[in-house]
Each structure stands twice: as C-alpha cells, then as structure tokens.
Amino acid sequence: MSRLITVFLFCSILLAQTQQQTPSPYRGAPQTTAAQQENFPPELLNELESIKLSALADDYAYHQVAHLTDNIGPRLSGSPQAKAAVDYVAEELRKLGLEVQLEEVKVPHWVRGAETAELTEYAGQVPGTTQKIVLTALGGSTATPVDGLNADVVVVNNFDELHALGREKVAGKIVLFNVLFDKQKAAAGLSFVAYGEAVRYRGAGPKAAADLGAVAALVRSVGNADYRLPHTGYSAPAGIPAGAVTAEDADLISRLFMQGKVRMHLTLTPQKLPDATGYNVIGDLKGSEHPEQIVVVSGHLDSWDLGTGAIDDAAGVGVAMEAAEVLHQLGLHPKRTLRVIAWIDEESGGAGSRAYSTDHTNEFPHHVAAIECDTGAAHPLGFDARISAGAAELLRPALNVLQSFGANALQPTNYPPGADISAMSEAGVPALGILQDGRSYFNYHHTAADTLDKIVPMELRENAAAMAVMGYALASMKNPLPR
C-alpha cells in the first residue's frame, strides 16, 4: 500500500512539473553522431522514408503469401508443393529484374501417414470404453506396424525422470514427455523462451527414450493454445515412432498414469522416401557501386504439412520479396547487392542453409549483413541483432525511420537471430531477425491452423516496411556495417 502511494505521489509530482514547464522548442531528430551523419546523408534518409511509406501501402507481400498458401499449399521439404513454390518465387523475382539462381541441395523426403491412438486400458476404465488420443507424427518419425502397436505408457516430466527410470522401466514402453509450454512467459512477451524450454524435449526426447529401449515416444505439443491441436516439428532421428499429443491429451494420460497402468494402441504410418532435390531461391538486385558486397534479406520457403505454412514462413518469404519489389516500384538501386533468399528445408534439418554456407563461405567476408524473418507475421517491434555495439549505434538513423509504427527497437542477442542465417552469424556476418510481437505465434506454430487467415494484412505490411528499410539501409549506407 505505502509503495503504491509513493508511486502515485511521485507520478503526481512529475505530472505537475511537466505541466509547469514552458514547452521547449522542437529540436528535430535525436542528436546524431558524425558517423551516423556520414553514413545516412539526407538523400538516403529520404529514400528510406519513401520505402517505408510504399511498403506500408503495398499488399505485394500479402499476395505472395496468399499464393504460396492458398494456391500452392503446404510446402514440406521434398514435396511437389515445395518445388512449385521454388519455381513461383524464382519467376516472381525475375519479374522484378533480379538475377535469379536456384541452388540445388538434397533434402529429406518424409511423408505423413495415418496417425491415430487410443488408450485401451487405464485405472477406473468403464467397461467397453476407450479414450481417443489426438496426436500427430513428428517429422522424420518411423512407422508402427500398419495395424499399430500396443504398449504401456510411462509419463516423465523431464530427462532426469527418464534416466531415473532407467532401461528396466522404459524398455518396451511408450514414453510421454509431459513438459509444459510456459504460457505465462508467452503472455509476458517471452514466448521464445517458453518455446526453447519445451522444444528440446521434442528435439531430443524420442532419441533419449529410444536409447533406453522405448518402442515409441510422445511429447506434449509445444504450443500455447488449448484447442486440442497437435503441434508437429523436427525431432532428431530416433529410429522409433515419435509423435506429439495435444496438451489436453497429455494432461489426460498424465492424470490416468498417476492412478495406475495406462496402455495405448498407437498407429503412425509415415514413410521416409529417398532424399529429394530441393532449391534455395537466390535473387540478386545488383549493387550499383559495390556489387560484390551483399546484404541478405530472407525467409524460408518450406513449411510443415499440417497447415499451409502462412506464418511459418510464407510470411518471411513474402516480406523478403517485397524488399526488392518496393525498390523496383520506386526505381531505387542500392549501392551494394540486395540478395533475396527463399531458403529450403529450414524445418526438416536445414539442408538449404548448410548448402549456402558451404557454397558461399568464401563470400562471407563480403556479406555485409543478413536478415531473416521467421517468427511470424505479427506487428514488428524492431530487430533482434547479433551485431557489435558500434554497429547498433550506427544503425540508429534507419531505426528512427521505423519509429512511426513502433518498429525501432534493437535488441542485442548473443545467438543467431534466425536458423537459416546462423552459419553466417557464426562466421561473423552481422545478423538481424525481425523482432515481432510473438504472443500468439505459438498458438498456431506447426499446426493445422497455420493458415492465411492468421495474418493481419496491416501487420504484414509493417514487417515488409521493416525489412525493406533495414535491407536498403544496410545496402546503401556509406560504409559497410562494421563487424
């Protein structure tokens, strides 16, 4: 109470002081350093302002996302849809006058099959009843026999509990990792922290269970919403069937497991086909002064197969494409090369970005910066950036251009701010990710509900504006961004 009163009084005093002050004259933009002025002369700032306004009034990115999702559909690595998306994006970038190359790479080709489960025995079971379990296979999962397998379920809440059980109590069983996605963190804006804490069980849980002789592994879906939706995703090859059950079903199994034996009939029949050919789409808008210096703007073209991959990550591809489209529309040419990349295979192992880093390592010293948009399509707040403090300060004039719609934050990170640009970032290339309001991202992430309707057109325009302004700034500021 007393603290509340103090705060109230303090606020009142501040308010009173503000009201008493005579308004000081407007001093324009915050003071800029000599280096900022040298790198961002007035002509460049005017161009950045025009780019922003054009992007905020342009639905190009939305039309690209609509085509990728509604007309092409899910774009799982190795699928005909993934190839159709490659051809489409390449053609669209050619229409903008970019030099387009397809970078060939072998990608996994895994196809989802039947996926059903029911609890056939459990404490307090009413005779003649079973419990349906809603689940989906994790990427790369092996198959059960066509008519399924039957096994007892053991529920663990972490790796320590699994290891404490040991082989004796795990062998021959189905292990369920019931690890909660922390909704409070997500609601408070830390959704990627919540994701990181839970997703390691999706990634490594099945292998850990297999190592102790489990016949199958399930994880609680890594997601934020309670609509009994299973969330798929990558899992390290474990050699056993692996799936994600909905949060509701994980709770059900867990409650019954506390009461006694739980037996499950599990059917997952995905197929792993021979590796297929995939392509990164690389489109260059050649720099007018330093064509050998490259600024990457990117998103990933492949998606999971349950939905149509709108927020993950047709949005990122659309936004990167629009960075080039806006320049085309305005007749602007960056000093350095602006390289649009639509990555392949981000979801199923990252073969696309690995191929790029192998093929282009020699060019990395000339890669001035790389940006990826792969956290959805919601309102952008600015950028996550793995760049030096000096570089961050130098970018302030570009961020100021984005201040009018709130996308001017620069959040330093010590990890790569995008999966596909991580190799570049590790090699020292300044790396940025668009920092978005991620509070609802994990409601839909990797589910059947990742569809076009989840994208708010105005928010997508804001993301396109952030990408276009920052991409052009990095490609046209006087000196390359320092490392």
Q: How far is the CB of 266 from Zn ion (least distance, A)?
A: 28
Q: How far is the CB of 199 from Zn ion (least distance, A)?
A: 12
Q: Does 305 bind Zn ion (CB under 5 A)?
A: no
Amino acid present at 299 = G
Q: Does 249 bind Zn ion (CB under 5 A)?
A: no
- Residue number, 72 or 253, with CB nearest to Zn ion: 72
Stretch that binds Zn ion, among 92-100, 223-231, 374-382, 427-435 (CB under 5 A): 374-382
> Is residue 290 within 8 Å of residue 200, measured between CB atoms?
no
- Residue number, 81 or 337, with CB nearest to Zn ion: 81
Q: Does 313 bind Zn ion (CB under 5 A)?
A: yes
Tokens 């979801």 correspond to 347
Identified catalytic residue from 346, 347, 459, 462: 346
- Residue number, 312 or 325, with CB nearest to Zn ion: 312
Q: Does 450 bind Zn ion (CB under 5 A)?
A: no
322 is catalytic: no
Q: Are strands 115-122 and 262-268 parallel, antiparallel or unpaired?
A: antiparallel
Sign of CA dihedral 193, 197, 202, 207: positive
Tokens 């005909």 correspond to 80
- Residue number, 322 or 374, with CB nearest to Zn ion: 374
Q: Does 312 bind Zn ion (CB under 5 A)?
A: yes
User: Contact with Zn ion (CB under 5 A): which of 374, 420, 459, 462?
Assistant: 374
Beta bridge mates, 217: 175, 242
Q: Does 420 bind Zn ion (CB under 5 A)?
A: no
Count of Cβ atoms closer than 10 Å to residue 113 Cβ: 15
The rounded distance, in Å, linking the Cα atoms of 348 and 359 is 20
Please choose, from the candidates 399, 380, 382, 410, the residue with its C-alpha nearest in 3D space to the C-alpha of residue 477.
399
- Residue number, 312 or 384, with CB nearest to Zn ion: 312
Distance between terminal CA atoms of the chain? Answer: 49
Stretch that binds Zn ion, among 62-70, 81-89, 189-197, 371-379 (CB under 5 A): 371-379
What are the angstrom distances between the C-alpha of 363 and each of 94, 336, 359, 422?
Answer: 23, 14, 9, 15
Please choose, from the candidates 274, 228, 231, the residue with its C-alpha nearest in 3D space to the C-alpha of residue 252.
228
Site string for Zn ion, 142-161 (x = CB under 5 A): --------------------
Q: How far is the CB of 22 from Zn ion (least distance, A)?
A: 52
Give catalytic residues, as residue numbers. Answer: 346
Chain positions contacting Zn ion, by CB under 5 A: 312-313, 374
